[in-house]
Amino acid sequence: MYSNKLYTPLRYPGGKARFAPFIAEVMQSNGLATGHYLEPYAGGAGVALELLFHGHASHVHINDLDPAINAFWVAVTKYPEALLKMLHDTPVTMEQWHHWRAIMRGELPADAIERGFATLFMNRTNRSGILKGGVIGGKAQAGDYKLDARLKKEVLASRIERIASHAGNITVYCEDAKHLLLRSSEFLPAKSLIYLDPPYYVKGRGLYRNFYGHDDHVAIAKVLQSNAFKQSWIVSYDNVQEICHMYQKSNGFTYGLNYTAHKRYIGNEVMFFSRKLRIPGAEKADTQLAA
């Protein structure tokens, strides 16, 4: 059973950890197994962690432009002991929620570890893990679930420890995805795969602290499909006409996905991939990747 809950300490709206076995298969069938893996929009990085922990990738590159998300990945890979101590020592109360929210918003001075912890605390105590969302149970804590419902210290501590034990094989970035893609040949060996999970074309706004407009999506499609871009890549999106148009030069397929943010519903998703990639099962249109 694969789930976003297995390895990443972050809850993420639209988390894609369930894709990890599929991405591992793509790496395997294209001679990329044990190569490098880059996620330019990493969020909770559930896919990257699973590929690394299961030995499918030897090194993972985790990028996210959101400074709060980046602060978490920096803290967990560079200062795990201090992060673990903070997790152990911090009571999960509304008073603390206000404190860590102020740190996340930059309203209080804080060091790199505190900023990383603020992300973890807010991610685990807010509804659906949305950093700018409301606290579980509401400010009056009158709901059935209280703010500690999703913050289980022992579970989080063991995930942090596991990531820390692989930190030598994790590189963390806080760059604009397009910028990072354009310089990716500087740090990615030929045996690499890039999986892009950009903010959704339609629903991206409101879920994440950075969002894309139409032109940003177009710019990424152009970089990936240009002849100059040599890396192998896979991109997943909401299945809308505009996106299919942007990726018309590439092969792709659609699939259904159970997706949780605010509420559960069946979405219609699409995946495109670079020409030279052989995609297992891609010949079947409307492949059901996840249920």
Ligand X SMILES: C[S@@+](CC[C@H](N)C(=O)[O-])C[C@H]1O[C@@H](n2cnc3c(N)ncnc32)[C@H](O)[C@@H]1O
| Residue of 141, 210, 251, 260 interacting with ligand X (CB under 6 A) | 210
| Residue of 21, 58, 66, 153 interacting with ligand X (CB under 6 A) | 66
Using CA atoms in the order 281, 54, 115, 151, what is the torsion angle rounded to 10 degrees? 90
Distance, in Å, from the CA atom of 223 to the CA atom of 228, rounded to the nearest integer, reads 8
Stretch that binds ligand X, among 20-28, 36-44, 141-149, 255-263 (CB under 6 A): 36-44
User: Which tokens belong to 190?
Assistant: 């030929």
| Residue of 35, 44, 116, 252 interacting with ligand X (CB under 6 A) | 44
Question: What kind and span of H or E run contains 136?
Answer: none
Contact between 177 and ligand X by CB under 6 A: the answer reads yes
Q: How far is the CB of 193 from ligand X (least distance, A)?
A: 14
Contact between 65 and ligand X by CB under 6 A: the answer reads yes
Which residue of the chain is nearest ligand X when measured via CB?
A: 43
Distance, in Å, from the CA atom of 15 to the CA atom of 4, rounded to the nearest integer, reads 6
Binding positions for ligand X, 180-209, rule CB under 6 A: 197, 199, 208-209
Stretch that binds ligand X, among 11-19, 99-107, 110-118, 266-274 (CB under 6 A): 11-19
What contacts 123, CB < 8 A, 6 or more positions away?
9, 10, 11, 72, 129, 131
Sheet holding 57-63, edge to edge: 170-173, 57-63, 35-39, 192-196, 232-238, 263-273, 251-261
Q: Which residues bind ligand X (CB under 6 A)?
A: 12, 14-17, 40-41, 43-44, 46, 63-66, 69, 176-177, 197, 199, 208-210, 212
